[in-house]
Every structure is written in C-alpha cells, then in structure tokens.
Amino acid sequence: MKTHKNGPRTISFLAGVLCLLIPISSNAFFGVNSLGEANDLKFKPGFTGSTDYLSSNTTFERAKFSYEEVVVKATENVLEMDKDGNAEMVTQEVETVERIPKPINYKEPKSPAVVLLHSCGGLGPKTSPDLNRWKNFLTANGYAVLVIDSLSARKIERGGNCSGRNRPLGKDRLVKDFFDAVAHLSSIPEIDSSRIFALGFSLGAMTVGISGDMADDRSYADKPHPRAVAGIYGGCRYRHENWLPAKSAFPILWLMGSADRESPPTDCMYAVKKLEAQNIGSEWHIYENATHCWDCKAMDGLIRVSGNGARNTYTYDENATRDSEQRVLQFFEKFQSASSSK
C-alpha cells in the first residue's frame, strides 16, 4: 500500500515539472521561432518581373533588357517677350535623354540567383528602398533575386527582431529560412542550382556568415548550399557568441566600415583572416570612415542605439555604396564557372 501511494505522488510531481518546463520550451516547438514545417516560410512559385517595390519571399527574374541612354536633339518654338514687352516666337534647340531598350541574349539559358537577406528591421518604408536598389542592381547584371522576409509572414512587427536579448527569431530559425530559400531556388528549372549566391545586410549578413559554419550540420549537410555568400556590415560577435566562423563550407565576402560601432571590425579580424587562410576564395575589406548601414540612403542621419548598447548615427556613403556593389558583383562572378554546389 505504501509503495502504491508513492507512485501517484511521483507521477504527479513529474507532471508538475513537465508543466513548468513546457512554457519555457514551447516557443522552440510552437512559436514564431519554431523549426517545425508549419512555421517555414512559403516562397511564391515562379518569377516576378521587375517592379518599383519589394515583394517579400518572391523571386524576381533577371533583366530581359538593357537600356542605352541616347541624347536626342530637337528644335522647338517658344514664345518670348522682348525688352519692349513685345511677344515674339523664338526657335531654340533642346536636348532630351531617351532610354532605348535592347534585348539581352544571355549565353547561359539558366539564370544564376542571389538570396537577399534583410537586417533585423525586416522589410519596411525605411529599409525596402535600399534593398530594392540592390535587387535592381543584381537583376540588371543577370541574376534572379529571391527576397527573404522572415518577419511579416510570422506577424512580427518591423524592427521586432532588433530587440537584443528578446529577439523572437533566433539563429537557428534564421539559418533554416536561408537554407530553405536556397532549396527553393534550386527547385526552379530556370535557375542554375550551381550558381546560387547570397547577400545579407547586418543581421542578414550574420545569418549567411554563421550558415557557413552550420552548413555541414546534419540538418543541412544534404541540402543545397550556396556557391558563395557576401555579408555587409554584419556583426561578428553578439552576446558572447561568434556569428562569423573561422572556417566555412563556402566562400564568404565580408565588408566592414571602420566607423561602425554597431558591428565593429575589431570583432571580425580573427575570423576574416582565418577565412582568408582557408584558401577557398573568401575575401574581406574595410571602408575607411564608413558607419553601419553605409548604403542606407533612406536612413541617412538616423540615430540608433544597437543591441550591443552602442549609439550609432547612420551616414550614407555614396563611394562605399558603389564600391561595395562592384565588390559583390566581382566576388560572385569569380565563382560563376565553378563546379556545382551540393
């Protein structure tokens, strides 16, 4: 009888412990940070043509036309007043610039592609214009572009993943979103699965960086990998955790700003030098006096306290922006003819 009485007490105690544990860990299974299939991003099938806005979880096709600017001269008659106040018709020459579309005949029938990963702020009025410019730049250079939106589909407010310790989306979920995006592009017949790249900004850069370390984990080892990735003003350490690995499964281009207090280059030097020494083609560069978000024209002058407690003033840098565009393009082109990814 004594043993029989103790049994239910033990079961009741264990049930109580489980009830206490479930709220703590439930987010890992059921919340917005869940790695379960029901919480995966849903990517829109096929291609979308070039637009003036950024549509989330959408693949934009590479440009079908290039545009040549042609100066057209013409004359027009203009009514003018002379010094005595008399009206007279005057013929004058005017110049206008017309953009003449020319069809692009690509050598390769299948398109290379780039996954675009936003910062912790997600897609919104302040971030979308600059991401849209990058999308247009890449599609004009022959890439299809898939724009990830990890926040909206999960009803997380813009900027809601910038709250430091309380970020609703953690590293594992962001990395899974990224590899899911690469797998989605690989499934599109018009995409060359051996030429899929990625470009991330701030937290998006951190995501592509840590993905190079996690690519050989059991969850991703047999899934499609990007051929190479690029990160712009990404943090290398966050809350005592390394986000840029010293060894990567694929080449990484890492671009930094010397005046970036949010993602200081000093946190990155050990990793970037180790990556370079790995001899798989990784590169890094520091822009003198460039702040965090140096390519963010829509946020020029914004003052923000970052997750590491640093106070930052974002300053748009035209020279760094144009140079980073070219560095990213040249880095991806370096691997265009390389062998296929997994």
- List, in sequence order, every residue forming a beta bridge with 115; answer none if it has no partner: 146, 198
Q: Say how far apart CA 192 and CA 62 lie, in whole Å.
A: 12
DSSP, collapsed to helix, strand or coil, labels residue 242 as strand
**Which residues are CB-contacts of 133 (< 8 A; sequence separation ≥ 6)?**
297
Q: Say how far apart CA 245 and CA 247 lie, in whole Å.
A: 5
In angstroms, what is the C-alpha Rg of the chain? 26
Q: How many CB atoms neighbour CB 184 within 10 A?
A: 23
CATH topology of domain 38-61+104-334: Rossmann fold (3.40.50)
Which residues of the chain form CATH 3.40.50.1820?
38-61+104-334
Alpha helices in the chain (DSSP H): 2-30, 128-140, 171-186, 203-214, 269-277, 318-334
DSSP, collapsed to helix, strand or coil, labels residue 199 as strand
**Residue 124 tokens, joined:** 């919104």
Q: What is the pLDDT along the chain (342 residues), one digit of tens a residue?
A: 444 444 444 444 334 433 333 333 334 445 788 888 999 999 999 898 877 788 899 999 999 988 888 888 888 888 887 777 788 888 888 888 888 888 999 988 999 999 999 999 899 888 899 999 999 999 999 999 999 999 988 988 877 788 666 677 889 999 999 999 999 999 999 999 999 999 999 999 999 999 999 999 999 999 999 999 999 999 998 877 889 999 999 999 999 999 999 999 999 999 999 999 999 999 999 999 999 999 999 999 999 887 667 788 999 999 999 999 999 999 999 998 644 444
